[in-house]
Amino acid sequence: MTKPACPKCESTEATKSGIVGGRQRFKCKKCGYHFSVAKVGREVDTYYVIKALQLYVEGVSYREIERLLGVSHVSVMNWVKKYGMKAPRQTDYHPTYKILNQKELAEFFQNPQNVKGAGLMVTELGDKYMMIRWERFKGG
């Protein structure tokens, strides 16, 4: 069995340090951090992590990302923290989005008016596509 890598310093020098919640606990010899190995079957596919981080940077809220991807908003917050993501401060623009199938997306792009004067991003979302565009906040 290969020894697990420390999540803090990535050293593979670890010793067994008891069992917590039915899982083996380890202590890193290099930095002293206690950790457990990842639970089998509970890891979120990296596809969803990347999509969540993309949406966060585009200005979509944690709860909205939760609704779109079906992953906990707390998980999204943890990924943002883990990977040191920073979303630019939104002042004049806010993102709006639509979920479209391939046919709807093709029809959208056939109308030149739909793509004029707007920041627009399309990203794959499972078997559909998410189109994000930026609209200027309407001032009072």
Query: Pairing between strand 128-136 and 120-125?
Result: antiparallel
pLDDT recorded at residue 140 = 44
Measured from the Cβ of residue 55, the count of other Cβ atoms closer than 10 Å reads: 24
Q: What number is the average pLDDT over the span 15-41?
A: 80
Q: Where are the domains of the chain?
A: 1-41, 42-90, 95-139
The continuous run of DSSP H or E covering 102 comes out as helix 102-110
How many residues belong to the chain?
140
What is the CATH number assigned to the segment(s) 42-90? 1.10.10
Summarize pLDDT for 111-136 with one digit per residue, the tens: 888 877 667 888 888 888 888 887 76
Q: Which value, in Å, is the radius of gyration of the alpha carbons in the chain?
A: 21
Is pTM beyond 0.95? Reply is no
Secondary structure (3-state) at 40:
coil
Mark out the alpha helices in the chain (DSSP H runs).
Answer: 46-57, 62-69, 73-82, 102-110
Look over the chain and give the mean of its residue pLDDT values, rounded to a whole number: 82
Q: Could you read off the pLDDT of 54-104 as tens digits, one per residue? A: 888 887 889 988 888 888 899 999 999 999 988 777 666 677 888 899 999
